[in-house]
Amino acid sequence: MPAASRSSMRTGAIVQNQFETAADLIGLEEHLRHILKTPFRSVTVEVPVRMDDGRIEVYRGYRVQHNGARGPCKGGIRFHPEADHDEVLGLATTMTWKTALVDIPFGGAKGGVQVDTRGLSARELEAVTRAFVSRIAIVLGPYRDIPAPDMGTNAQVMAWLLDEYSKRGGYTPAAVTGKPLALGGSLGREEATGRGVVYCMHAFADDFGVPLKGGRVVIQGFGNVGAHLARIAHEDGAKIVAVSDRDGGLHNEKGLDIPKLFQHAYVERKPVIEFPGGDRIDNRALWDIPCEWLVPAALGGVINKEDTVGRIDCKVVVEAANSPTTPVADKILEERGIPVLPDFLVNSGGVVVSYFEWVQNLQQHPWPLRQVTDELGAKLTAAYTAVRDTVREKGVSWRTGAMALALKRVAEAERLRGNY
């Protein structure tokens, strides 16, 4: 089936465009604009790996630390054939705004290795991880820069990362988050982003009368974020009428049987379209389904002028994925009066629980799941409320309000630290 078309606008350009609008709103000084538009440190490395057949492949890797004024840099590492410097910088920049917005004591970073993991054996994947980490370890550390999983990496990759890093300074669990539980990972980390999305939906529902209980939800993507948010929203009474993955989607006006679909598609890793209990749709048709809550939870640039924005019929867009809406589509949604809850608010649950993991590691004191869930709710609700108040006070979009708030916090830390 045809994949949903994506705008050609890259993450970096999308993030840059949002920055200027918010910087104008808070009257940000010229030198701070420059500092905050460029990375604090950007490292490019070659990653040579001996493959199982004896050849040596050389991959390219990046670690970009965008800003560390508010605390150690924080951000994932992705293994993807299209990971390049611009993309990694755009994502690192978003991490700076995200950590500031949810008010955790971190800055923003991101890493990437240009590698297609699909053809790799487990040994080769481990070798890529160790070679990359050995080359960037000098800029990492629990008080300097703390990686986490992202596209193409997982808890096992983080375990290898921890092991490789610990060879240098001794056992240092706080040097990386998203680890397996047995190595100091946190309870609640796997579902944290999806749970955070639902906390934001609850808060918006309470304020603006868009019902979550009984409300129709359409979700693009049924991976870590999409599947968990579907499961939790369903538990809270929402009606999930359509979901999709890369192979296509399912639609059922009465609501899909989410617990069974979760088992089928998320636990057993089978395509969504092979699940009985709904009409099969192609990925394009997902955007035509009327709903209260439209939740892109897969790719960037999917809500765009070229293909999708004109067909959307919802009360609110909830950006669970990173950069799913292009700036032009954002403007069109604004003109149509459809609010867009921005990615760096909505999908920040993962980094918030990463922060909790770091705290638990530093204190060598694991938290029970209830504490993780409650403190996640408190962090996200506080961030949501601060954005809502800015939106009301300044009459701006949710994205501009959120960005202005984040920018203000980072700029304040930069000014106080000085060092120019």
Return the beta strands (E) in 291-337 as ranges.
293-296, 316-318
3-state SS class at 17: helix
3-state SS class at 314: coil
Site for ligand NAD in 261-300 (CB under 6 A): 283, 297-299
Among 7, 153, 325, 347, binds ligand NAD (CB under 6 A): 347
Return the beta strands (E) in 19-167 as ranges.
41-50, 56-67, 73-79, 108-113, 145-149
CB 217 within 8 A of CB 239: yes
Site for ligand NAD in 206-265 (CB under 6 A): 220-226, 244-246
Letters for 6-45 (x = contact with ligand NAD by CB under 6 A, - = none) are: ----------------------------------------
Nearer to ligand NAD, 220 or 373 (CB): 220
Question: Rule CB under 6 A: is residue 344 a binding residue for ligand NAD?
Answer: no
Shortest reach from residue 158's CB to ligand NAD, in Å: 13
Q: Which of 37, 74, 98, 110 is catalytic?
A: 110
Shortest reach from residue 261's CB to ligand NAD, in Å: 12
DSSP 8-state assignment for residue 69: T
Shortest reach from residue 197's CB to ligand NAD, in Å: 9
CB 299 within 8 A of CB 321: yes
Shortest reach from residue 392's CB to ligand NAD, in Å: 26
Shortest reach from residue 283's CB to ligand NAD, in Å: 4
CB 58 within 8 A of CB 38: no
Question: Rule CB under 6 A: is residue 414 a binding residue for ligand NAD?
Answer: no
**324 — phi, psi (to 5°)?**
-75, -20
Of 8-16, 128-136, 314-322, 326-334: span binding ligand NAD (CB under 6 A): 314-322
Shortest reach from residue 228's CB to ligand NAD, in Å: 8
Burial group, residue 300, by CB count within 10 angstroms (0-12, 13-18, 19+): buried
Q: Record the tokens describing residue 143, joined without a space.
A: 């008080």
Question: Rule CB under 6 A: is residue 112 a binding residue for ligand NAD?
Answer: no
Query: Longest C-alpha distance within the chain, in Å?
Result: 63
Nearer to ligand NAD, 3 or 26 (CB): 3
Nearer to ligand NAD, 49 or 321 (CB): 321
The reply to whether 110 belongs to the active site is: yes
**How far is Cα 60 from Cα 70, in angstroms, rounded to an integer?**
29
**How far is Cα 90 from Cα 93, in angstroms, rounded to an integer?**
5
**How far is Cα 244 from Cα 297, in angstroms, rounded to an integer?**
10
Nearer to ligand NAD, 175 or 318 (CB): 318
Q: Which residues are catalytic?
A: 110
Q: Which residues form the interface with ligand NAD (CB under 6 A)?
A: 3-4, 193, 220-226, 244-246, 283, 297-299, 320-322, 347, 350
